[in-house]
Amino acid sequence: MNSTRESCLHPVDVGEFRLPNNLWFAPLAGYSHKTHRDWCRSFGAGLAVTEMVAVEGLVRGDRRTFEYLDTRGEENVSFQLFGRGDPARFAAAAKIVMERTGTRFIDVNFGCPVRKVMRSGSGSALLDRPSVMSDIVKALKDTGATVGAKVRSGIKAVNIEATIPALDAAGADLITVHPRLAVQMYTGHADWSLIALARTMTSRPLCASGDVKSPPDAERVIRETGCDAVMIGRAAIGRPWIFRECIDFFQTGRYTEPTWEEIRARLVEFARSYSFADRKPRADGRISIIPIRGELINAVRGFPGAHHLRGAIAQSETLDELEVLLKDEPVEEK
């Protein structure tokens, strides 16, 4: 056993919360829904963050926005908000979340680089306004919430030397750094040295995000940056067992992929749970898998016959069809 590697796995105290470990599922629009959050926690994720939810939608009482508030039965979940730089509106939205869900862990998205989000003055658009970021965190703290803040390294130029101290001084309970510029979107490489730089600016819990694709990646980012936790996003889409693999790797120096038998059973369970928890049944009463086909397709990647199976899943629409597809062992292409 590698004692250095073993020490990478530990609980993290964030505000009033003690999270069981430091391997967390990131907020991803379209993917961090309730069922996927539950799925990731079933494989050991110590925290799961909701999809980002619009402050304005909550404050205005938008019905579709309120559908994101279902965190029933969830532990170790934080609720992510995004909006324009109005601290009072953020506070009002946080109160709605806490009153309706009981969830007191609020995360603020200062990192979304999507153009339409930035055009509204939200997400990464606020990175050039560290005083406003600070005021938002302070307003949320005044509601009694535990507050996390997720940032990128800047919009067009690195400015974490301004944003990290501002969030620290405002009392953020957690700071998550994705070390890419907003203009990079998800291209290029995450510059982990910027997370190490952020570490020198705050003693608050610091989480690394970006380009953690495997257990060795998770170990390396902790070792190289001194961060307290790791947030895994795209690598966990449809493949939540990465959290179990990381835990095994930290504890033993080894990890194994799940068997096809386990994948087959878990995918059917996932599809059924999603349809009941996150979507209403189809008019014909059959269970739709259309919204989660991307996750299902990603889950079978790497198995023999995956190319054919992925194509078949892409054409399927219901749980019944999925169960038929997964009934037999995949056939390896010649």
Task: Determine whether 21 is exposed, middle or buried from the number of CB atoms within 10 Å of its CB (0-12, 13-18, 19+).
Answer: buried
> Where does the chain have alpha helices with state H?
3-6, 34-42, 55-59, 63-66, 87-101, 115-119, 130-142, 160-170, 193-199, 215-225, 242-252, 260-277, 293-299, 306-315, 319-325
User: What is the spatial distance between Cα 90 and Cα 109, in angstroms, rounded to a whole number?
Assistant: 11
Residues classed as catalytic: 112
User: What is the spatial distance between Cα 56 and Cα 52, in angstroms, rounded to a whole number?
Assistant: 12
Among 134, 150, 138, which Cα is nearest to 79's? 150
Q: What does the chain come to in residues?
A: 334
